[in-house]
A and B are shown apart, each in its own frame.
Chain A
Amino acid sequence: MSSTQMLKGIIDGCILAIIQEKEIYGYELAEKLEQYGFDSFSEGTIYPLLIRMQKEELVTSTLKKSTAGPKRKYYSLTQKGKNELQQFMVRWDKLQNSVNHVLYK
């Protein structure tokens, strides 16, 4: 199984966690993910995910003037998004524990 496949589902939670830290725009988000070590997937992948999260009302976006010229879309978490992140953290802790248990018993 490739790591891209493993990432599905997990990356959503990580995106929520990064957005919770501060309001952020697409490129910044992609860069943060890369810094955290998620370098196996292409940056553009975040946009379909962001569109979906927006549809599910986990994140909202506002347009702000940027130094580079055109307006930039900044994302922030909704209350629903914050709840989802909490649930993700619980789920992840449990999953991580179980996997570690199996691998390093």
Chain B
Amino acid sequence: METMKRALSKESQSFLENLRLYLISNGKDDEEINAIVEELEDHLMEAESRGKTVDDIIGRSPKQYMKQLSDEMVTNKREWFKHILMIIVGFTAFSILTDAINGHISYSTMEITGSIIICLVSIFSIRKAFQYVSTTNFLSIKKEFTLYTIIGLLPIILFIGLTYLDRLVKTPIFYFSDMGTIIIVVLSIGILIGMSLWAKTWVVFIMLALLIIPDFIIDHIDVQPGIKLVLSTLITFGGITIYLMFNHKKMQKQV
């Protein structure tokens, strides 16, 4: 039975990863996804140890096979709705906190509706990208990287656009009183802690710290404003990169 423990081939591994991505982006239930991926992993391992390839198992078209599985599984629309709601609520709490530290909590109607629309557009585009990546055969790493870069840049560009639009078009503005600010900040922290506990990750707070602390320190040293901006951006993104790399290593060790 030792042979059974052999690692799966690259092709099988990438098929299973793509399958998972495909099912997630089609709104299937997490538990059901885990069950079928594990079952197929077991099957592939046994088949490979007997000299079969992933193509023998799933047929000529992985996309068609994934669709076959997906069609039989229950789509959990509520699961999707939950994810979207959490992203929007989390994002809102996150921006309120960063704004509160910079000392201004006031939003125009345009900012509020615009942000929600950008969130929805981003989620939709990420979902489409996942579906595309998981079902396209032999997508080069370069292409995949380009796609993710575009998807990553999209909300940033949209937010910059929103900022300009907000200056051009005046819409009613909501201000928070001192008491209101305290309440909403406490509420935001509470929401983020709750979500972090639920997701079992403190990534939100690490990101928050990386966004806020560099600004705070650099504000207190005497350098030119231009250098300040570069320095704070560099520390923030450098920190995020290091954190992600560290996390990636940790996850690989677990597997």
B39–A73 CB distance below 8 A: yes
B69–A42 CB distance below 8 A: no
Q: Number of residue pairs across A and B with beta carbons under 8 Å? A: 64
Q: Counting CB contacts under 8 A, is B46 at the interface?
A: yes
In the assembly, what is the distance between CA of A69 and CA of B1, in Å?
A: 9
Give the interface segment out of B56-64, B173-181, B219-227, B228-236: B56-64
Residues of B within 8 A of A90 (CB): none
In whole Å, how far is A30's beta carbon from the nearest beta carbon of chain B?
Answer: 7
In the assembly, what is the distance between CA of A26 and CA of B44, in Å?
A: 10
- A51 with B69: in contact, given A43-B43, A68-B1 (CB under 8 Å)? yes
Number of residues on chain A facing chain B (CB within 8 A): 23
Q: Counting CB contacts under 8 A, is A44 at the interface?
A: yes
Interface residues of A in 44-75 (CB under 8 A from B): 44-45, 47-49, 51-52, 55, 66-73
Among A44, A52, A68, A73, contact of B45 (Cβ-Cβ < 8 Å): A68
- A47 with B40: in contact, given A68-B1, A68-B5, A73-B35 (CB under 8 Å)? yes
- A69 with B4: in contact, given A47-B36, A51-B69 (CB under 8 Å)? yes
B40–A51 CB distance below 8 A: no
A48–B68 CB distance below 8 A: yes
Among A27, A48, A51, contact of B43 (Cβ-Cβ < 8 Å): A27
Residue of B with least CB distance to A68:
B4
Residues of A within 8 A of B5 (CB): 68-69
Among A42, A52, A67, A72, contact of B57 (Cβ-Cβ < 8 Å): A42
Q: Counting CB contacts under 8 A, is B8 at the interface?
A: no
- A42 with B40: in contact, given A48-B68, A52-B72, A69-B4 (CB under 8 Å)? no
Q: Is the interface of B mostly helix, strand, loop or mixed?
A: helix
B56–A42 CB distance below 8 A: yes
A68–B57 CB distance below 8 A: no
Q: Counting CB contacts under 8 A, is B71 at the interface?
A: yes
- A48 with B71: in contact, given A42-B58, A43-B56 (CB under 8 Å)? yes
A48–B72 CB distance below 8 A: yes
Which among A26, A43, A44, A49 has the highest number of chain B CB atoms within 10 Å? Answer: A44
Residue of A with least CB distance to B73:
A51
Which among A26, A42, A48, A70 has the highest number of chain B CB atoms within 10 Å? Answer: A48
Residues of B within 8 A of A72 (CB): 42
Q: Counting CB contacts under 8 A, is B79 at the interface?
A: no
A47–B69 CB distance below 8 A: yes
Q: Counting CB contacts under 8 A, is B88 at the interface?
A: no
- If A67-B4, A68-B45 are given as contacts, then 11 extra A-B residue pairs at C-beta distance below 8 Å, sorted by A number, are A25-B42, A26-B43, A30-B43, A42-B59, A43-B52, A47-B39, A47-B43, A48-B68, A67-B1, A68-B5, A73-B38
Question: Across chains A and B, which 5 residue pairs bring their CB atoms closest together, nearest first?
Answer: A42-B59, A68-B4, A51-B72, A44-B58, A48-B68
Q: Which chain B residues have a beta carbon within 8 Å of chain A's beta carbons?
A: 1, 4-5, 35-36, 38-43, 45-47, 52, 56-59, 65, 68-69, 71-74
Q: Which chain A residues have a beta carbon within 8 Å of chain B's beta carbons?
A: 25-27, 30, 41-45, 47-49, 51-52, 55, 66-73
